[in-house]
Homo-oligomer: A and B are copies of this chain.
Amino acid sequence: MPSALENLRSKTSDLDALHAALSMMEWDQQTFMPRGGAEARAEHVGLLSRMYHETLTSDELKRALELARSEAKSDDEIAMLRVVQRDIDQATKIPTALVEEKSKLASQAHESWVIARANNDFPSFAPLLARMFEIAKEEATHLGYKDHPYDALTDLYEEGATESYWRQMYESIKGPQVQLVKEIKESGKNIDDSKLYGEWDEAKQKTFTEFLVKEIGFDMDRGRQDTAAHPFCTGWSVGDIRLTTRYKPYIGSAIFGSLHEAGHGMYEQGSPMAWDRTPLAGGVSLGVHESQSRTWENLVGRSKSFWQKYLPVLQKAFPALTSFDLDGWYKAINKVEPSYIRVEADEVTYNLHTLVRFEIECDMLTGKMKINDLPEAWNAKYTEYLGITPRSDSEGCLQDVHWSGGSIGYFPTYSMGNLLSYQIWNAMEKEVGDANALMAKGEFKPILGWLQEKVYSQGKKYPPRELVQRVTGKPLDASDYLAGLGAKYREIYGL
């Protein structure tokens, strides 16, 4: 006779298996699928998603969860019940009819968005986007919230976050970041990174980036790296995490893309094997996840000490880069330049991109902004925060895929990742010592080991806000980030 906990575990295993299938189908779709496979893939994903949803909202699972409550004793067991309860709640609160309408609208809207972006034609996309915001409001109502519909939506991505939480976060960084961008612009100092653009052999980029991610600690026996148009990290067990990267004329695309995804990947690889295929495995939230991708991309990969060891390796593979000395390379990969496109933004301007989206999302949800005013508002905010005005909606409000899929409340998690990466890094250095000295020797084990112990091995055990407190001794705040960013870029730009 299996115990109630074992019974629950067997039900969550079914969910995990369906989720694994869905993740693999999505991975394959972005990496290897021939175009003829698209139609059937959409059907398969739709059907398996329905099965997943049915299992998650089934009375059997709810009963199994209730019965397991009296048996759950250890912290881990109690945490597991909490995570399952949250998953069930999210899946149950929104009526099936609304889920289905959203799913249909999302696939329509995605198609419309692709065309609208290609043709710089916001008006053709606007009615669908307006409906998507309406659906988001309905979702928020069903999910429930106290102060702002944003609270309910953003909680889906970042447990415990609210509109006021994000507003506070942005308020603390907006002034200093706009100021820093302005100072850099006014310094008149132009960093030449033109030599980073060229025709780079793909096989060599593959070899070099796989070398790098292995160096920092991504375990290739428990993962791999392929290519995708829009790099991402996914996986379906602690022992099988898939990275992707891309090869572009800008050599930084592959290098920093790989390090970024490897950061996500090492977080996923770091869950305890005992939690594999259970609700406790994996990263706890988008913001915490992003903190780790940004750690390995920026704090490690864009540091000078990292390249002390690896620039010669890079130059051996790509002799066209030998004209760089360490300082020139360091400056080139950290060049700051306000630009229209979020995914190409440098470290200094990045948060201003997400701020624009956050403010627009809030105003759309409250009805303060109307759909037809969106493009103009977008452009005005870019002018104000970044000092540049998009020349078209394609490079303006049509650039991101998120809204067409109904992901509203998502963007601030990117910025949380930026802030938190510095905050966790400082906590790490307090215990591990000077990270630069380690990186210059290619010794990542102490750094990874600390992150592993404090963050990765915790999986989803603690809600993200509690995890941040435990790891760094304080709630999320901008001080480490602003100090770190300011010091780094004032030094680079001689301000």
Contacts and interface: CB of A to CB of B under 8 A. Distances in A.
Interface of A: 13-14, 16-18, 20-21, 24-25, 28, 32-41, 43-44, 47-48, 51, 219-224, 226, 236-240, 276-277
A221 B39 CA distance: 13
A17 to B, nearest CB: 4
The copy count of this chain in the complex is 2
A206 to B, nearest CB: 13
Contact of A219 (B17, B32, B36, B40): B36
Contacts of A226: 32
A313 to B, nearest CB: 24
Nearest to A220: B34
Contacts of A47: 13-14, 16-17
Contact of A25 (B21, B32, B41): B21
Nearest to A221: B36
Contacts of A38: 239
Nearest to A22: B21
Given A14-B47, A48-B17, A51-B14, A277 B239 contact: no
B24 A28 contact: yes
Given A17-B47, A40-B277, A277-B40, A240 B33 contact: yes
Contacts of A32: 224, 226
A36 B437 CA distance: 32
Contacts of A14: 47, 51
Contacts of A222: 34, 36-37
A266 to B, nearest CB: 13
A44 B17 contact: yes
Contacts of A219: 36
Given A17-B44, A47-B17, A37 B220 contact: no
A21 B44 contact: yes
A40 B239 contact: yes
A73 B308 CA distance: 75
Contacts of A28: 24, 28
